Every structure is written in structure tokens, then in C-alpha cells.
Chain A
């Protein structure tokens, strides 16, 4: 059960990407989750809110698309321009 630390890595990466779009708010973080990555989707979703708490991502949803392969890829950010 290392999904919490993975969720935190995703949140870190998403925050870095979001910083490139200053002034906007992140509504959702899109993720491609490889079936062979060894990462469990439900555990990841369960850890997500705690990982975002207190960051600029607070309230953002995690949208997981399950794909083949072993990668775990941050694939997009849904952002709301002010």
C-alpha cells in the first residue's frame, strides 16, 4: 500500500505543471494508469484528497483512465481560467 506516496508524487507533479498557468484553478488532474504498474486505482483515489489538502490543488478531482502497460502518466490538467 504505497499509493499514498504515489498520490503525493502525482500531486507534486501536477502542482508544478499548474504553476505554468498562473492565476488559474485546477479542477481536475487526468492520469493514465497502466494495468501493469502495480498501482491500485481505488487506493490511489482514496489517497488523493489527503495528498491535495493544503496545496493549490485542494478540491481538484483525480480522473483515472486505465490503460495497458506499466506506466503511470500525468496526462492532463483541467483548469479554470479566472
Chain B
């Protein structure tokens, strides 16, 4: 008897697995009335310092905030963020270069989401892979520090296109590194025309209040909708 080969037709979308979990997360966040904001950037762009300051400021405004933070190894960032007094959890991804919706769902399993106003998700430092993964967030922020070079948006357009707000960090160092703000702003506008931008220094406090206002507005827009 000879073996016969046949082709079975299937139509099954593989990338949609993450999207389905992200959709489920988004619905859960809606029900719990928590506004979820994710942050992406390259390693060392100041995500954690920026987030620590943001958590502290929002807490001072009487808002209930929490953060999930992703890294390949260590819980250093979670320890730093916990200093703000917010509820914080580290997701250790091992060798994975991004967070996906399943990791977020797992990390949130035992969390009282309805006791929160805002949840921040700090992605693994990486300007490539996180662009492809919806985490169920309400908005995505991409950070770019003045020490990185003004043409980052042009080199990594997908991540900038996937984000809702661009934040330029470490403005306190701008002069020392001869940061060309116009070039950076032009680059962002080229890949994502009309994108809102904040130029901040978490260390000195520049424009942090303006960013906190943006977050608060995002939260109220959501609960109104």
C-alpha cells in the first residue's frame, strides 16, 4: 500500500491569537473603569524615571495608579517604581523581547482592577517587536531621549506609527548633547503626522504636569465614553 498525500484547506489567522486576548483585556479594563496606558522605547531612554515621576504626580492628585513593568531579567525597575507608593508588578520575560497580551493577562490575574484609575504598562526596552503586540491598552506612548539621536523616528517608523503620544525625555541634557529638537519633531511628524508630543525632563520636572494633564484627560474621555 502506498501512502497518499492530500491537502486539507484551513483558514486560520495566526497573529489574531494575541488580538483576541487583547480584546478581552480591553473589555475587562472598560468594565473595571481603569484607563490603561502602555509605554515603549529603546533601552535606557528613561521610561522608568519618567514613569516613577508620573506615578508620584498622579498619586498626589488623588488618583489610584499601578504599573506593570516588563524586562528580560531582574525586578530592579519594579523596585524603583514601588518607591512612588503605587502598586507595581514586574513581568520577567526571560528571552522574549516584548510583552504580549497573554503575559499581561497572567500578571493581572490577582489584581483588583476596579480599585484603580490608571494602569501603566512599561514594555521591554525595544523599538521593534512591541509595535506588533496589542496589549489592550487605551493609549500607547513612545519615548525618545535626547541622547539617542534625532532620527530615531525615521529609523523605527512602525513603533512611532503605533503610538498615540510621543514623549521626548531627558530634556535637561538637551544642551549638553546638542539635541536638535526641530529635527526630532520633524522626524516624528514625518512618520506620524499630527502626533501629539511632550518634551519633558523627569529629573527637573519640565512639562511633567502637562503630561499628567494629558493622562487625566485620557482617563476622563474614556469614562465619559
Residues of chain A having any CB pair with chain B under 8 Å: 1-2, 5-6, 9-10, 13, 17, 21, 27, 30-31, 37-39, 71-82
Contact = CB atoms under 8 A, between A and B. Distances in A.
Contacts of A38: 131-132, 158
B12 A73 contact: yes
Interface in B97-132: 97-98, 100, 128-129, 131-132
- B interface secondary structure, majority: mixed
B14 A76 contact: no
B4 A81 contact: yes
Given A30-B7, A77-B7, A72 B132 contact: no
A23 to B, nearest CB: 12
B97 A17 contact: no
B9 interface: yes
B8 A73 contact: no
A79 B9 CA distance: 11
A13 B8 contact: no
Q: How large is the interface on B (under 10, 10 to 19, 20 to 34, 35 or more residues)?
A: 20 to 34
Given A9-B15, A80-B4, 8 more contacts: A2-B129, A30-B7, A72-B15, A73-B12, A74-B10, A75-B10, A76-B8, A79-B8
A17 B12 contact: yes
Contacts of B223: none
Given A2-B132, A81-B3, A81-B4, A75 B9 contact: yes
A17 B13 CA distance: 13
B183 interface: no
Contacts of B6: 78-79, 81
B168 to A, nearest CB: 25
